[in-house]
Every structure is written in structure tokens, then in C-alpha cells.
Chain A
Amino acid sequence: MSALLSVENLRVSFPTHRGRVEVVKGVSFELGRERLGIVGESGSGKSMTGRSILKLIHKPGLVTADRMEFDGVDLRSQSEKQMRAIRGARISMVMQDPKFSLNPVMTVGEQIAEALVTHEKLPRREVNERILAMLEAVRINDPTRVAGLYPHEVSGGMGQRVMIAMMLIPSPELLIADEPTSALDVSVQAQVLDIIDDLVTTKGMGLILISHDLNLVSRYCDRILVMNSGVVVEECAAGQLERATHPYTRGLLAAMPVLNEQREELPVLDRTQWAGT
């Protein structure tokens, strides 16, 4: 199977008072039409990795890689204009908080329509049909009503489903979901992730799920990369997470309280061992 996306030695750096600081330090991975999870704590470089694939890191940030290929296209040499044709149409991204990603003065339907017609010229009737079908696919019960609502009139969970509808309507081949549910309630989280999971599987897309939540990623992904301070410290199959070997991954797993918590004290990561700070 040829890889959908392959990244080799990806580096992202930003200038600071004390010179350039690398936030991603040589990350490599390959992705087929599968679900890949990238887990890490804040500052681990996981979001930067996701954004650099779409070339969403702007100056003064600097991205370098030995190889960054999406379905045979070298992403490194794509111009901004060429990237715009790829973004949305072939690679989509769902961000953390729907409140900030949706345009407040456009109805939900208009925004989804825009996502569709930017990449494809279609007759109006068909656009409407596709929107309603998409809203149904993200399990919105009365799509006609919701399509006419403004973002502030929908709940967080509904907003995130609208975002997903918007991102998936041009039928991209790869979806990057950056903390898609961390602004949502636990019960809604499961629903939203189920929807993503369902659509990704039925459409045969690739998925990169970026999250700080080990359990969540292990539930919805096939393979997991654990990142810390810009480096992938562990790569394993999702089912094998319990048998992770790297002390950082083990530390993270142990630090999480469980429902039936019997420990008097939670084990704490010895930060000095990995991070410089």
C-alpha cells in the first residue's frame, strides 16, 4: 500500500529572545488510509505537526522537512495558491473550538455551501441536497432547520458537528482533527468522535486525530504517536497502549486518575528527565 501522506524529519521553529527555538524536532511518519493518533501534552508540538502539513504555519515560524508528500504531491514546493486548492478539497482540518471557527454572520447552511462551491461548481439544487445530506450524516435531526441557523444559535456539540460537515462535504482524502472535542461535554464528545469515525471509515479517508487524551486516541485510532517536547517518543498500535514501554508514556498513563481510584497519591512525571524546562 502506498502511503497517503509521508513526512520525514519535519522541523518547525520559531524565533524568540534567545534565538530560534524548535518546537517540532525531526518528526517522521507515514499514513495510509488509516486513523493515526498524535498524543502529547501542551507544548509537545502535536498541533504544530498537524498545522505544518497544511502549511498553516506563518512567518516568523519556519517549517523544514526532508520529505512531505501527500498522495505523490510534494507539499513543500506547493505555492500558497496551490495549497488553497488542496486545503479543504483534499485535506481538511477540524479545529478545537467551533465558536472561533464558524463565521458568526453567516448561517450554517451558507457556510457549508461555501465550503462546497469553493472547490466544485454545482447547480444550486444539488448544493442544497448535498448540504442536507451532509447534515444528516453528522446526525443532525432536522437539517432544514439547522441549515438556516446562525452559529450562536447552535450548541457546542452541534457547532462541532456543523464544522465536521463543513470539512467533510468536499470529500477530502485526509482529515486532520486537532482536539476536535476538548471544548465539548463528555457525553457529546463520544457522539462527535463516533461521527468522525463513522465517516472516515465509510469514505475510506485518512485521519490524523490530535489530542492530549490518551484514552480517547486509543479508542478511535489504529496507531498512536506519543509526542513530547517536539519528538515522537513512542509509536505503537492503539490496542498496545497498555504495553507502552517509554517511561513518558507510562508516566502519562499512570498519572490519570481512574473511576475506581484506590491510590492515595497519583504518580507524578519527573519532568527533568525529558523536557529541558
Chain B
Amino acid sequence: MNAISLNNLDISYGDSKVVHGVTLDIAEGESFALVGESGSGKSTILRAIAGLAPDWTGEISVLGKARTHGIERAVARQVQMVFQDPYGSLHPRKTIDAALSEPLAINGIGNRGERVETMLKAVGLDQRFRFRFPHQLSGGQRQRVAIARALMLEPKVLLLDEPTSALDVSVQAEILNLLKRLRREQGLTYLLVTHNLPVVSFLCDRLAVMRHGRIVEVADVAQLKSGQLAEAYSMELLAATEGHAGAAA
């Protein structure tokens, strides 16, 4: 069964259409990346799957079930999202404990204290962080909390929107390691949006290159590693990353 399948998906913001006819299947347990420049529509796809961009036509199905346009409780237990900005994704007046208990309270799950403790351990945060406020945490620690919050409902699919692009390289390494370990331990499916190809190489199995709201190419990560992407635009992105500055222009 596919974890996520998109069929001829068009997404609009107001009057402007930002994603055109995207068709994509992501298998369960797979780690898939959407790469492209800003404005390519990659984040919009993620938001549509989550239910935050309700203005779409086509089909979205998650774990075999067709998705409606809004946010659904049943889907919330299966799909969660991690946002880009660790400073904006935590409520400034709520302790870490409150942030992690909230999804449990919303969905009527008991035994909260113990679950919070377990989850903090799972994302590598010491218990002494539990009752701190977000401003007492560093960017990397906040992102760990955001990941923990997404995992509180034990979802099968994690949507990751540039989860490390706001972080320092050394912190990025920690978060990438964490994401890799969590996926292995909990059998998660990842859909990662990023512009950073080395991150894709480290964390993903397959990738789709997007441009102007369309998928240019779907490739295996081995192709990326060996630098053998089929489309010219994909190679341009690759060249820009490798620092062949002149070749990109």
C-alpha cells in the first residue's frame, strides 16, 4: 500500500495556481524528497496533504484512504508535520510539557506524563527540559521538541518542511541523525521538502525535482549520488550545489 499517493493534483492559492498536475506515489516506509527552488510549489504539496492548503483538485490519498480538503482527526493520527522554523513553530507561552501533552489532550489519550517522558527520551532531550519555555531552548533543541510533538500521536507518515534549513550545520547533523534513527526505530514514512541536495542524499531513498509547480523528474537517490540525473534542470541544481558556480548560469 502507498503511504501517500497524489493523482493529477492541482493546488491554488486564491486565484493563482501554484501546483500543476502532480502525480506521485510514495510507498510505506519510504523516505521521499521534494526538491526545488523557492516558489516551485514543493511546500504547497506538503501543506495540501496536511490539510493546510484546502484549495486543490485531483486526488490525495493517505495510507489508502482518500483525503478530504480540511483537517481531519483521523488523519491527524496518521500524518503529522514538522515545520521549518523552530522559532515559530512552538507556542511562546507554553512549556515543552504543555506543547507535547496538547496532541494527547486533543485526541483524548491518557497517561500523558509518561508518554511525554518517553518521547523526550526518544528525541534525545534531557528530562530537565520538560518544563522549560521555548525561549530557554536553542534552535536545535526546539526542533527536537517540534519533532517530538509531531510523533506524540504515533503517526505513520511525517511531513518534513525544510526541517534543518534554519539550523547551524553542526546542529543540522544532530537533527538529521535523529530523523534517520527515528525512521528506523518507528518504521516511519518521510516526505521531506528541501532545497539542500546533500540532505536528500543522507536521508532519502528517492526524490522528485520540481520547478514552477510541476515535477521535472523523479529519481533514485543513487542517481543523485553519482550525479546522473536525467533532466537538464536537475543537473543545474546539482551543479549549483557542487559549487560549479559558472556552470549554473
Report which A residues bind B (CB closer than 8 A).
41-42, 156, 185-191, 193-194, 212-216, 219, 251-252, 255-261, 263-269, 271, 277
Contacts and interface: CB of A to CB of B under 8 A. Distances in A.
A252 B176 CA distance: 14
A261 B38 CA distance: 24
A193 B151 CA distance: 40
A156 B241 CA distance: 19
Contacts of B238: 259
Contacts of B176: 257, 266
Contact of A259 (B168, B173, B177, B242): B242
B6 to A, nearest CB: 24
Nearest to B245: A190
Given A187-B37, A189-B240, A267-B173, A259 B195 contact: no
A96 to B, nearest CB: 13
Nearest to A216: B243
Contact of B37 (A42, A186, A266): A186
A219 B243 contact: yes
Contact of A193 (B172, B224, B237, B245): B245
A261 B237 contact: no
A216 B246 CA distance: 14
A266 B169 CA distance: 11
B199 A186 contact: no
B1 interface: no
Interface in B216-231: 224-227
B170 interface: yes
B85 interface: no
B128 to A, nearest CB: 14
Interface in B155-194: 168-174, 176-177, 180
Nearest to B233: A187
Contacts of B174: 268
B170 A259 contact: no
A214 B168 CA distance: 11
Interface in B22-47: 37-38
Given A191-B249, A252-B170, A257-B176, A186 B241 contact: yes
Contact of A41 (B168, B180, B236, B245): B168
Contacts of A264: 180
B177 A257 contact: no
Contact of B173 (A215, A216, A268, A277): A268
Contacts of B138: 277
Contacts of A190: 240, 243, 245, 248-249
B131 interface: no
A255 B240 contact: no
B123 interface: no
A189 B177 CA distance: 27
Contact of A156 (B38, B180, B225): B38
Q: Considering the complex of A and B, which 6 residue pairs feature the smallest CB-CB distances, nearest first?
A: A255-B173, A41-B168, A266-B173, A257-B198, A190-B245, A261-B201
